Amino acid sequence: MIQGVLSISLLIPAIGYAGDINTISTDRTADGSIQVHFKLSSPLSGSPDNFQIDNPARVAIDLPDTTNKTGERTRKINLGPVKSLMMAEAGGKTRVVFNLDQATPYAINPQGNELTVTFKPASVSDTTASGLAVSNTAGNNPATAMDRGQSIDFRRAADGAGRLLIQTSGPNAPMKMRSEGSNIIIDLPNTRVESGRFGVKDFATPVEDIDVRPMGNGSRITLKTRNAGEHMAYQTDNRLVVEVKPVPQSQGAQNVGEKKYTGERLTLKFQDIQIRPLLQLIADFTGNNIVVSDNVKGSISLRLENVPWDQALALILETKGLSMRKNGNVMYVAPTADIVARDKAELEARQQSQQLAPLTTDIIQINYAKADDIYKLLESASKTSKSSGKNGESTDTAQRFISDRGSVTVDARSNSLIITDTASALDRIRDLIQKLDKPVKQVLIETRIVIATDNFARQLGVRWGVQAGFNRGNSTIGLGSTSPSLSAGGTLPYDLNNGNGGPGTAVTQGTSTTTPGNWMVNAPISGTPAGSLGLAILGSNVLLDLELSALQSEGTGEIVSSPKVITTNGHTALISQGTEIPYIATQTAGGVQEGSFVYRSDAANHTE
């Protein structure tokens, strides 16, 4: 027991041996630079890893084997572009993160027990930095001598984007990119590219022309575009890539399977940074957890301008031959070969587990569909899945409902399925049947077949006449038709035809002196009226005669049949009403004429 205690006490110094951050101080130099000094208990074993992001503007420095003894986790600075700093301990190191107003060049200088981080505002930064991040890590100073570009190339990406590839002599060639109208201008202060103008319209990308001209010790590249969407630039090792995408298509016209990136946009500038802290940085930015395989190694230098974070991650993984699997908010990153081997091992283990799983028999009652139809569907899905594998090999997919060891039997009498399979396969089959075995909407169609005549008519007639006459001395005034008549009897007031103004002829009631021109309005019905109404008003000098008549003629009908049919929604139904009429059909066979009865239908058909 005593030996155990002693052994533990001896381990304590080994575990606790590390450099400590004791104090932090800041000052401003004569040229306006901001310096942050870290006083350490012991010198650092090497130059710390560091990286910078532009949006949000931050600089992160990892101090290995170091603990924070200042008692502060955050400190406000508010000097120049430096707003504050944060410190966090994890994995045996302390990460110091500077929050900046904007992306600012910086330099790291470890000397003995002191580490100095210098930030140069844009007004005092030299032209070498060109407004970009500078990380003075050991052996990776920013390019100050002119980089002579080896070559440029232009390619068309699968999504129709144009990619300009610039080969540089180092991974840290500074670059500035901006847009002017439909042109994209790229300034390479220290990279000389062969001058010239290149037409790339035949590539069918948004880029139509590339114009390269010298600019001081470097070059200016102008991309003339048409219908260009977003553009970005990134650098991997010694290759600078400028990508110009077309205007996004409408949602309905997007290519099937085309990758869409929807993450929050960021700007990253890395100079020979290790892959593992880079992945951790992206995980911190997105709020996701990340697990990185021990086989993920190496470093990368790249520059990403205003790109979605998921696209930035995809570019990093593709460049370094890595793949990712995501489960919830946890990302697992490993070499692609390891991911493929892991997926293959999981598939083989699942298949082996199915081969060893016990079989269970279950009877599933089909309520609405036909059991035989469900059986055919299960068999068809399983056969399709088996033949979908490479070289005809059996595959284990979600569409495969019946396993190799399973079987299905149909009981037509009870409309049931008797299924023998593993528990997981039975669960899949039950879930499928539950979705398919549902009542289908039905439609009732009713038709009436009738025999009817089409002689239907309705008439209304009127005749209206007026006769009036007045004698004033030697003048006779009359109103009416030229040939008066009286259907209701009485005495005509005056004979307007003889012109003498004398009294008219007496007419016995029930008789008439009608003549064709007697009525002022003569619109009677045709045919024999079914009824009429006559009205006469007799005055001393006025006769008003009105006759109304009406006639209605209707046909007859007979309902022969009222057939009904029920069909499922979406299916055609046929209603037929009629008789089979036999007749003799003759044919000659071997010189002998034979007759046979043939029935021909005179049915009236109605399809719904």
In tens, the pLDDT along 165-183 reads 888 777 667 778 888 888 8
Q: Is a pLDDT exceeding 80 seen at residue 157?
A: yes
pTM above threshold 0.85: no
**Token pair of 339 as six digits:** 């991911």
Cα–Cα distance list, 287 to 290, 312, 330 (Å): 10, 15, 10
Burial class (CB in 10 A: 0-12, 13-18, 19+), 506: exposed
The pLDDT assigned to 251 comes to 41
Task: Report pLDDT digits (tens) over 391-403.
Answer: 444 444 434 678 8
Q: Is a pLDDT exceeding 90 seen at residue 333?
A: yes
The pLDDT assigned to 141 comes to 38
Question: Across all residues in the chain, what is the average pLDDT?
Answer: 74
Q: Please provide the DSSP assignment of 127-196 as one string.
A: TTTTTS----BTTBPPP-SPEE--EEEEEE-TTS-EEEEEE-SSTT---EEEEETTEEEEEETTEE---E
Please give the order of strands across the beta sheet that includes 407-411.
360-365, 416-421, 407-411
| Distance (Å, whole) CA 484 – CA 517 | 8
The pLDDT assigned to 131 comes to 31
Cα–Cα distance list, 580 to 558, 576, 597, 598 (Å): 21, 12, 11, 9
Query: Stretch 74-92: mean pLDDT, rounded?
Result: 86
| Distance (Å, whole) CA 215 – CA 186 | 11
Task: Report pLDDT digits (tens) over 24-46.
Answer: 999 988 888 899 999 988 888 76
3-state secondary structure of 268: strand
The pLDDT assigned to 380 comes to 79
Query: Stretch 354-374: mean pLDDT, rounded?
Result: 87
Q: Which of 175-179, 272-276, 288-292 has the highest mean pLDDT?
A: 288-292
Higher pLDDT among residues 586 and 410, named by residue: 410
% of the chain surpassing 70 pLDDT? 68
Query: Stretch 317-326: mean pLDDT, rounded?
Result: 88
- The domains of the chain, with CATH numbers, are 20-119 (2.60.40.3500), 152-246 (2.60.40.3470), 265-345 (3.30.1370.120), 359-382+402-439 (3.30.1370.120), 559-607 (no CATH)
Query: Stretch 75-96: mean pLDDT, rounded?
Result: 86
The pLDDT assigned to 535 comes to 58
| Distance (Å, whole) CA 50 – CA 48 | 6
The pLDDT assigned to 144 comes to 36
371-386 and 423-436 helices, crossing angle to 10°: 130
Higher pLDDT among residues 528 and 377, named by residue: 377
| Spatial CB neighbours of 481, under 8 Å, sequence gap ≥ 6 | 465, 467, 517, 518, 519, 520
Task: Report pLDDT digits (tens) over 186-224.
Answer: 888 878 888 888 888 888 889 999 998 888 888 899 999
| Distance (Å, whole) CA 120 – CA 278 | 24
- Which segment of 158-162, 251-255, 435-439 scores lowest on mean pLDDT? 251-255
Q: Is a pLDDT exceeding 90 seen at residue 67?
A: no
| Distance (Å, whole) CA 98 – CA 108 | 13
Q: Is a pLDDT exceeding 60 seen at residue 278?
A: yes
Task: Report pLDDT digits (tens) over 462-510.
Answer: 777 766 665 666 655 566 655 544 444 444 454 444 444 455 544 444 4
Q: How confident is the model at residue 553 (pLDDT cuts 50, 70, 90)?
A: low
The pLDDT assigned to 132 comes to 31
Instruction: Report which of 295, 304, 224 is spatially closest to residue 264, judged by C-alpha positions.
Output: 304
Q: What is the enclosing helix (H) or strand (E) of 37?
A: strand 34-40
Residues in the chain: 608
